[in-house]
Structure 1
């Protein structure tokens, strides 16, 4: 099967391309590195020519609500248009669990992306994922000031990016399946506690402090667990602790 991966150079794009290649599929990488701008649609029609399925794993470089919503909505409409013209069978999109209540930032953009895809002619399947284990690394980088990381209160059920990629590949190639599926890790945790474990393995920063960021319009939803999976979600390992042991082995 010929599968075009939009955002092939990103975290999930790289992983899903690797999964599909090892399964024997022909992967068409679609990214700026391959001369395609999915926001403007430059090169997109040519990139999707001959594809059976499209996977959208593209990410945005901004979290400003208007800009990120415009970006994701435009990408979805462009991909739908080009996919329909190319005779693509279906589109698989990776999104985020629990975003229906969010009206600001990245989550609002992803929700707009989902809606735009559903409005198009090519059938779309959506895999809503929890935040990745790797999100703790990003959070540590974003929030560290001096010897302390100030991590917002956030209930999560972190999942490995590789597990998401494997499920996304499955969703994309199956001839039948649910229109929306959720995937999360095996256990709920507090994000600050997970970041603290990562900091301890890295040896810095010295402290991790959980905070309530009242300037973030999403802080209440994140704190009360809006981004946790529902009862029908697929739960996939490894656990956060297993991922941590593999990537950051404890010093003896």
Structure 2
């Protein structure tokens, strides 16, 4: 099968590309470094020639509601239009568990992406995943100084490698719409995860008063129904960093 990976040079995208190639698929990597601009649509028509399935893991790092919504509207709109022209038969999207229950600016953009994909011309599968194990390391890197302050956040972290494998598995099958969620094997607090890997640094967990933070602290990021469970625990992931 010929599969295109939107955002295929990002840290999640690279894992998806690796998993898809290991499964024997012909993979097209779509990113600006490969001549494809998802925001302008430049290079999409050529990249999607002969592609049967698109896995979209492209992302923008922002806390701004306006920026997130505009970015995902442009990215998803260009991608779906080009897929329809190319005859793509399945569009697979990576989203987030709790995106419909936690009203943050970035999550508003992801909700808009889901809406566009579900209403679009290509049969779609949306996989909602919990926070990656890698998110704890990213949080440490983003906060300057020896003291790392993190809001109270309860999650069921999952390895990005497990998510990549599930995206490829879903791409190989029929479209499912808003499909099952994927989460890790254990419920953890983000502050505790950071403490396990923040060598020589102090991690402080603080409850924040805004609605999004309260939701994150009280289970808003946890799966609520049936979900596919990843195999790699946080400690096993941390041991191989």
* TM-score higher than 0.5: yes
CA distance in 2, matches of 1:233, 1:27: 27
Residue 54 of structure 1 deviates from its aligned partner by 0.5
- Structure 1 counterpart of 2:80: 80
Q: 1:204 aligns with which of 187, 200, 204?
A: 200
- Structure 2 counterpart of 1:34: 34
Deviations 1:35-71 (A, max 9, x none): 1111111111211111000010001032211011110
Scaled by the length of structure 1, the TM-score of the pair is 0.92
Task: Verify the 8 A CA contact 2:124 2:176 in the aligned structure 1.
Answer: no
CA distance in 1, matches of 2:113, 2:148: 32
- Structure 2 counterpart of 1:120: 120
CA distance in 2, matches of 1:45, 1:131: 33
**Alignment size in residue pairs:** 241
Q: Extract unaligned runs of 5+ from structure 2.
A: none
After TM superposition, the structure 1 = structure 2 runs for residues 71-220 of structure 1, keeping only pairs within 5 Å, are 71-145=71-145, 147-175=146-174, 177=176, 179-199=178-198, 203-205=199-201, 207-214=202-209, 218-220=212-214
Residue 98 of structure 1 deviates from its aligned partner by 1.0
Residue 217 of structure 1 deviates from its aligned partner by 5.2
Deviations 1:79-98 (A, max 9, x none): 11110110001100010001
Deviations 1:172-191 (A, max 9, x none): 11136464120010110111
Task: Verify the 8 A CA contact 2:90 2:174 in the aligned structure 1.
Answer: no
Task: Verify the 8 A CA contact 1:153 1:191 in the aligned structure 2.
Answer: yes
Scaled by the length of structure 2, the TM-score of the pair is 0.96
- Structure 2 counterpart of 1:67: 67
Q: 2:231 aligns with which of 237, 241, 245?
A: 237
Deviations 1:128-156 (A, max 9, x none): 000100000001112343x2110110001
Task: Verify the 8 A CA contact 1:186 1:239 in the aligned structure 2.
Answer: yes
CA distance in 2, matches of 1:93, 1:230: 20
Q: 1:33 to 1:74 in 2, by over 3 A?
A: same
CA distance in 2, matches of 1:104, 1:152: 13
CA distance in 2, matches of 1:110, 1:133: 20
Q: How large is the Cα RMSD of the aligned pairs?
A: 1.4
Deviations 1:86-142 (A, max 9, x none): 000110001000111233321111111000111111011011000100000001112
Q: Extract unaligned runs of 5+ from structure 1.
A: 248-252
